[in-house]
Amino acid sequence: MPYNTQKNEPKYVSKLEAPSFFSLQRTRTIRGHSDIVKTLGWNCSGSRLASGSADHTLRIWNPDKLELRYSTELKGHGSSVDYLSWDPTHSDRLASVGKDKTIRIWDYRGL
C-alpha cells in the first residue's frame, strides 16, 4: 500500500476527501431503524454509509441524501446486527455479523 511520505504531514495509508455532506452541516440526525443502531461504517470511497440495528436490519445510506426514501434496507439476520465492515478494496461489498451467529456478505450492486 502506498504511504504518505511528506515530511510535514503524519504518515497515513490513504487520504480521502470528505463527502460534500460534511461541508454543509456539523451534525445531522437520520431516522430509519425501528430499534437502536449498534454499528456504523463508511465504505472505502466515502460514498455510502451503512448502519446495523437491533431491529435485525442493515441500511445503506447516501450521505448526500440522508432521508429514509433514499436508503436501502437489507434483511436477512434473525436477530440484532452487531457489527459490519465494508470491503476495503471494493466500495459495494460489506459483511455483517448478527447475534444469530451468522455472517452475511452483501454486494450492493445486486440489490
d(CA 93, CA 87): 5
Q: Cβ-count burial of 108 within 10 angstroms (0-12 exposed, 13-18 middle, 19+ buried)?
A: middle
Instruction: Give the CB-side neighbour count of residue 105, counting CA atoms within 13 A.
Output: 3
Q: Is residue 89 part of a domain?
A: yes
Q: Is residue 74 part of a domain?
A: yes
Q: Is residue 79 part of a domain?
A: yes
* pLDDT tens digit at each of 111 positions of the chain: 444 455 665 555 555 565 565 555 566 677 889 999 999 999 999 999 999 999 999 999 988 887 878 889 999 999 999 999 999 999 999 999 999 999 999 998 877
Residue-wise pLDDT for 10-40, tens only, equals: 555 555 565 565 555 566 677 889 999 999 9
Instruction: Decide: pTM greater than 0.95.
Output: no
Q: Is residue 21 part of a domain?
A: no
Q: Is residue 24 part of a domain?
A: no
- Between the CA of residue 79 and those of 53, 67, 73, 82, 101, what are the distances in Å? 9, 24, 15, 9, 9
